[in-house]
A and B are shown apart, each in its own frame.
Chain A
């Protein structure tokens, strides 16, 4: 009789305990099963911020106002004002890919901050081409993209809250910010969890 009660209980207990851990498996990047941590920018946050910025930029129609489309974009400085070390390409590369796929803009890799080219070999080839043809082939960027990532963290008791603000500006050759976007992502909780 005792066994009849104890065995099912043991089975339920085993099921509960084995359910506590999960075996390694693949999840969709930025999908609903991603780990959400409060004080850190997760990959889904970068994806959301980049997606929002790209959508907003496409909807604004600013990129369609250039004389010779597609618009040429150069990447300027994006300041990281958060407490964590960030590779800014996690944000900017997604925006660049999104804009390229839209057909509305291309990004120059031979024109960078302080004369530093993202692709030095491409810059060398470009200079060689100009030398051989004896004419300037470089197209100046129509726009530059700059911005800042800011973190604002607060807590009440055990509950922590972090707001990450992704601020971006698109500046034309006259130095005017013709488009500006801001995406804020706020997360609240006491510990990291799996899933949105």
Chain B
């Protein structure tokens, strides 16, 4: 009896922690064309890679000639996931440019949700970038 109750309690806890996944709809014929960029990845946390999966990266230049990067993320699980991320920027010599705009941002993604995160380079000298994704504590 005690075992059953404990099991029920665990199931209730698990289900209570789950959020409903997201359904979405969008226009099929897109007016805007994304300039996708090829990427190279280093995955050390496969769990995070499943719940916060990077689908693609695209870039654009702002009117002021500054690089803007957008990453499409997809949560391949059914539950809400908290994470944080930061963009790092590099100049044409591959040197990292650290400014006050290089910040770690806390974020969350619902189960099954696809969402975009973006960042603007701190200076027009930034030519390359790196996106780091972290599991929330």
Output the nearest chain B residue to A61 by Cβ-Cβ distance. Answer: B63
A-B interface, 4 closest residue pairs, ranked by CB to CB distance from nearest: A61-B63, A195-B137, A55-B120, A196-B106
**Residue from the list B82, B100, B104, B120 in contact with A31, Cβ < 8 A:** B104
Are A58 and B137 in contact, CB atoms less than 8 angstroms apart?
no
Chain A positions within 8 Å of B103 at CB level = 30, 44, 47-48, 51
Are B99 and A58 in contact, CB atoms less than 8 angstroms apart?
no
Are B105 and A103 in contact, CB atoms less than 8 angstroms apart?
no
Residue B68, interface by CB 8 Å: yes
Cβ contacts B115-137/A at 8 Å (1 or 0 each): 00001101110000000001011
**Residue from the list A28, A98, A195 in contact with B122, Cβ < 8 A:** A98
Looking at chain A's contact residues, the main secondary structure is helix
Output the nearest chain B residue to A34 by Cβ-Cβ distance. Answer: B104
Chain B positions within 8 Å of A47 at CB level = 100, 103
Are B64 and A97 in contact, CB atoms less than 8 angstroms apart?
no
Residue A101, interface by CB 8 Å: yes
In B49-67, the 8 Å CB interface with A consists of: 62-66
Residue A5, interface by CB 8 Å: no
Are B63 and A48 in contact, CB atoms less than 8 angstroms apart?
no
Are A195 and B64 in contact, CB atoms less than 8 angstroms apart?
no
In A176-193, the 8 Å CB interface with B consists of: 193
Q: How far is the CB of B75 from chain A (nearest CB, A)?
A: 17
Chain B positions within 8 Å of A194 at CB level = 137
Residue B8, interface by CB 8 Å: no
When A30-B103, A98-B122, A101-B99 are in contact, do A59 and B62 touch as well, CB less than 8 Å? yes
Chain B positions within 8 Å of A51 at CB level = 100-103
**Residue from the list A32, A94, A102 in contact with B66, Cβ < 8 A:** A102
Chain A positions within 8 Å of B120 at CB level = 55-56, 58-59
Are A54 and B101 in contact, CB atoms less than 8 angstroms apart?
yes
Are B64 and A64 in contact, CB atoms less than 8 angstroms apart?
yes
New contact pairs (11) apart from A32-B136, A55-B119, A196-B84, CB-CB < 8 Å: A32-B84, A55-B120, A58-B64, A59-B63, A61-B64, A98-B99, A101-B123, A102-B122, A195-B136, A195-B137, A196-B106
Are B63 and A103 in contact, CB atoms less than 8 angstroms apart?
no
Residue A41, interface by CB 8 Å: no
